Amino acid sequence: MLHASLVLLSSVQHFGTIMAMSSDEAYHENERQLKDRKEKRMLYRSGRNSRDKFPERLDFKFYDFKALEIEKGWNQLFVSIVSIETGETIAKSNKVLVKNGVCDWEETMLSSIWISDYSLQDSNQSFLLKLLVAMGSPRFGTLGEATINLANYIGQETFTASLPLIQHSSCGAILQVRLKFSA
């Protein structure tokens, strides 16, 4: 009986006034308040993340790789496409012989990125990939690397990029690659 009277005396402060409620009323009032808080939280979360909910897949096809102005001493080279964000190798070509300072790959490599409509509209957005040209171990046999921002090429169907190979190359080698964009 003491418990029942304490429940009857339980009160909820509502708009500055104190109201006495029965245990059933207090229980239902508490459930209603919890439900209202959950609904508000869900509305806040869905509004905050709604722009990222429906990503779109963009495919880039890399082909017609050509390294130019390669100095003597480099025999066979390969090209790797590496995600700067994750550090993972996305694609890697076979080794090809260097002839007269030129190395030509006939392989095609694909890269896909997932992007939201919001990111497409953001002019500061970047999707960076590293193109690494190497003979063997990246630590010892790297001719050079170039960085490409795929965000600069979204919307263009086909384009050619000429990228200077930097960091390891002292001769000014250049990597040319053709890219094809498809949504």
Would you list the domain boundaries of the chain? 2-51, 56-182
Residues 147/130, Cβ–Cβ less than 8 Å: yes
Strongest mean pLDDT among 35-39, 121-125, 163-167: 163-167
Looking at per-residue pLDDT, the higher value among 183 and 172 belongs to: 172
Q: What is the pLDDT of residue 3?
A: 42
Supply the pTM of this predicted model. Answer: 0.64
We find that the CATH architecture of domain 56-182 is Sandwich (2.60)
Cα–Cα separations (whole angstroms), residue 143 to 24, 28, 68, 79, 163: 77, 72, 11, 10, 13
Q: What is the pLDDT of residue 43?
A: 57
Residues 67/133, Cβ–Cβ less than 8 Å: yes
Kindly report the average pLDDT of the chain as a whole number: 76
Q: What is the pLDDT of residue 95?
A: 93
Residues 137/105, Cβ–Cβ less than 8 Å: no
Q: What is the pLDDT of residue 1?
A: 45
Comparing 45-59, 100-114, 163-177, the range with the smallest average pLDDT is 45-59
State in Å, rounded, how far the first CA of the chain is from the last one: 71
